[in-house]
Structure 1
Amino acid sequence: MANEGLGSDKVRDALRAAHLYYMQDLTMEAIASELRTSRSSVSRLLGFAREIGLVEIQVHSPADRISSVQERIRDQYSVTAHVVPVPDSTNEIDRLERVAMSAARILGPFFDSNMTMGIAWGSTLSAVSRHLQEKVTHNSQIVQLNGASNAQTTGIGYASEIMSRFGRAFGAYVQQFPVPAFFDDPRTKEVLWRERSIRRVLEIQKRMDIALFGLGSAFADVPSHVYVGGYLDDADFEQLTHSDVVGDVATVFYRADGSSDDIPMNARSSGPSLSLLSKVSRRVCVVSGRSKLPALRGALAAGVMTDLIVDEATAHSLLEA
């Protein structure tokens, strides 16, 4: 079990305190008296209960459960939007952290036992992975969507850390994808894709219940890892510009109109095609910052997402456009 090693007595007390506080509306003083402890100890137990996932808190506005922004995004783009309130004065790094923290909380109810979740590594998903709350699941697995190695590094450390955090949080088996992010020659990819060990991972990807990803962009204020991590050289950037690329999902590139056909780099990419991705029942995209608006609009045009987790300013700018 995921809570093993945390201390069964502490988990029991935290569960009891949470039930008394959230389900029976007892005050902290009353709970302290019942548990024969101090009010400060009760407060710590309630914090511990939230930390390990015994308690999930959702905030709903009584005046307007679904904000007008979320409704407009749903009506215009046919996606479920989760808009994260962030002050305009917030710098882009802190903005990403706040969106990532909310995304980690929102994601919890989406993933459960007997499910498979595909993860696309990157700056955004790395941030989300740092804020995951523990949730016990059984017979579940996390699968890496695209390879992470390049000419400078194997990428194992970077991608593995992200994947491992998701695996630990959900008690899920982690299936890594030990291939390059981009092959030098598309023919090498074609040959390797026929190998049984690689086909096994590709088959797992086809059976995903959830796909979770950020959007790569060469113009993002918080640099996308694929554009600054040594994965692309000058010739690659020139080719992407010539192909009118505005962004990528799991190292698969697309244009402003959502098309991805005939982009030469995609023949070398290890990520799933956008057509394969669109067959996943739930596709959760996490985006932070106005600098990713071109990538976001292109991804919406491609129909790659069912759920969008985005900061408030970017959501407003999306609708204004």
Structure 2
Amino acid sequence: MAENRLEDAVRAVRMHYLQDMTMEAIAREMGVSRSTVSRLISFARESGLIEFRLHLPDEHVPNIEQRIGTQFGITAHVVPVPDTVSELERLERTAMVAARVLNNLFGSDMVLAVAWGNTVEAISRRLVPKTTHNSQIVQLNGAGSTEATGISYASEILSRFGKAYGARIEQFLVPAFFDYADTKRALWRERSVRRILDLQRRADVALFSIGSSTGDVPSHVYRAGYLNKAELRTLKQQDVAGDIATVFFRRDGSSTGIELNERASGPNLSTLKRLRRRLCVAAGNHKLPGLRAALEGGLITDLVIDDGTARRLLT
């Protein structure tokens, strides 16, 4: 049944997009209803058979995207979202667009480095399947903690990316934060760990959001017991604005001298900056302090952001 539906979907798509046939004409030729044709084309979109790209001349790029691009030297994708929707709905709609932007950045013979978290989890549920060859998905930071392993959470996210792209998955089975920096330094000398670190450094695309302790949907690292009260107080005293892959940075974008980073399993931010494409996805005003800091530090090359947050970013 699945094979028949796939064949019908391919046939309907070819007639609709390559032969400019109306849905009514396709329905008559295939001997089905118009609603069946509509469902077949929807199925083709959802399963990755067809992919849409919007090629806009420079003069037609939305002004807000141009302004963000000019001010921060990045490529911006602004997602229209009504101000009246919930923060969760804002995240979901932004994640849907981010999944499609990612499809344009990632392909065969490439490595995608993924930082787990609420936003990336939402993106993983919105991925549009895309066939790739010899591609890899590597976890950017560990997920273990004293409260809960976190490994199954990160594993499920990575599995969705691997399934969507037909890519090999490389998990990073270490704690999000070590108790002792010496333990981390010793483990980082192990060949099995160095193999993952090398793969992270060779990534063609990094996908992440900005960690934030506020908002209706606080970042997973803050709400899942990864940090104790003393550590949270210290981060506040050090003027930390946010984190990427559980590596923290201040409002000016700097990260040196933050003790917790010595124990964090995420990549040094100078290493992250050497990656060619760094796709950040941010939805909600609570992301703004960290987002501004990350842009100040040159940590982002591509940004997907909802329009309300985008407007405030420019004020």
Q: Tell me the TM-score normalised to structure 2 length.
A: 0.97
Query: Size of the alignment, in residue pairs?
Result: 315
Task: Please name the residue that 1:288 is paired with.
Answer: 283
Task: Please name the residue that 1:201 is paired with.
Answer: 196
Q: Quick one: distance in 2 between partners of 1:127 and 1:62?
A: 31
1:299 aligns with 2:289: no
Q: Quick one: distance in 2 between partners of 1:41 and 1:252?
A: 49
Q: Quick one: distance in 1 between partners of 2:208 and 2:200?
A: 14
The residue type equivalent to 2:309 in the other structure is: T
* TM-aligned CA deviation for residue 60 of structure 1: 6.4
* TM-aligned CA deviation for residue 59 of structure 1: 5.0
1:262 aligns with 2:257: yes
Task: Please name the residue that 1:278 is paired with.
Answer: 273
Farther-moved stretch of structure 1 (219-228 vs 196-205)? 219-228
Of 168, 185, 207, the match for 2:163: 168
Of 47, 51, 56, the match for 2:51: 56
What RMSD in Å do the two structures reach over aligned CA positions? 1.5
* TM-aligned CA deviation for residue 34 of structure 1: 2.2
Q: Quick one: distance in 1 between partners of 2:133 and 2:232?
A: 43
1:182 aligns with 2:165: no
Of 101, 105, 112, the match for 1:117: 112
* TM-aligned CA deviation for residue 8 of structure 1: 2.8
Q: Quick one: distance in 2 between partners of 1:177 and 1:223?
A: 23
Q: Quick one: distance in 1 between partners of 2:159 and 2:98?
A: 18
* TM-aligned CA deviation for residue 21 of structure 1: 0.7
Of 19, 24, 30, the match for 1:29: 24
Equivalences for 1:5-20 in 2 at 5 Å? Answer: 7-20=2-15
* TM-aligned CA deviation for residue 61 of structure 1: 7.2
Equivalences for 1:86-105 in 2 at 5 Å? Answer: 86-105=81-100
Consecutive unaligned residues in structure 1, runs of 5 or more: 1-5
The residue type equivalent to 2:102 in the other structure is: L
Q: Quick one: distance in 2 between partners of 1:55 and 1:294?
A: 37
Of 135, 150, 153, the match for 2:145: 150
Q: What whole-Å deviation, never above 9, does each CA across 1:154-211 have from its counterpart, x for those lacking one?
A: 1111101111111111111110000000000000000000111111100110110000
* TM-aligned CA deviation for residue 234 of structure 1: 1.0
1:218 aligns with 2:213: yes
* TM-aligned CA deviation for residue 108 of structure 1: 1.1
Task: Please name the residue that 1:249 is paired with.
Answer: 244
Equivalences for 1:302-313 in 2 at 5 Å? Answer: 302-313=297-308
Contact 1:113 1:140 in 2 (8 A): yes
Q: Quick one: distance in 2 between partners of 1:61 and 1:35?
A: 35
Q: Quick one: distance in 2 between partners of 1:26 and 1:60?
A: 23
The residue type equivalent to 2:60 in the other structure is: R
* TM-aligned CA deviation for residue 9 of structure 1: 2.7
* TM-aligned CA deviation for residue 64 of structure 1: 5.8
**Which runs of at least 4 in structure 1 moved beyond 4 Å after TM superposition?**
59-64
Of 63, 75, 83, the match for 2:70: 75
- Structure 1 63/176 Cα, relative in aligned 2: closer, same or farther at 3 Å? closer
Q: Quick one: distance in 2 between partners of 1:100 and 1:92?
A: 12
Q: Quick one: distance in 2 between partners of 1:11 and 1:313?
A: 39
Equivalences for 1:226-241 in 2 at 5 Å? Answer: 226-241=221-236
Q: Quick one: distance in 2 between partners of 1:80 and 1:126?
A: 22
Q: Quick one: distance in 2 between partners of 1:60 and 1:192?
A: 47
Q: Quick one: distance in 1 between partners of 2:135 and 2:7?
A: 25
Q: Quick one: distance in 2 between partners of 1:51 and 1:80?
A: 26
Of 99, 115, 135, the match for 1:140: 135
Consecutive unaligned residues in structure 2, runs of 5 or more: none
Task: Please name the residue that 1:128 is paired with.
Answer: 123
The residue type equivalent to 2:298 in the other structure is: G
Farther-moved stretch of structure 1 (21-30 vs 61-70)? 61-70
Of 18, 32, 38, the match for 2:33: 38
* TM-aligned CA deviation for residue 310 of structure 1: 0.2
Q: Quick one: distance in 2 between partners of 1:190 and 1:39?
A: 62
* TM-aligned CA deviation for residue 220 of structure 1: 3.1
Q: Quick one: distance in 2 between partners of 1:129 and 1:282?
A: 18
Please give the secondary structure, in 1, of the residue aligned with 2:60.
coil
Q: Quick one: distance in 2 between partners of 1:293 and 1:41?
A: 44
* TM-aligned CA deviation for residue 215 of structure 1: 0.5
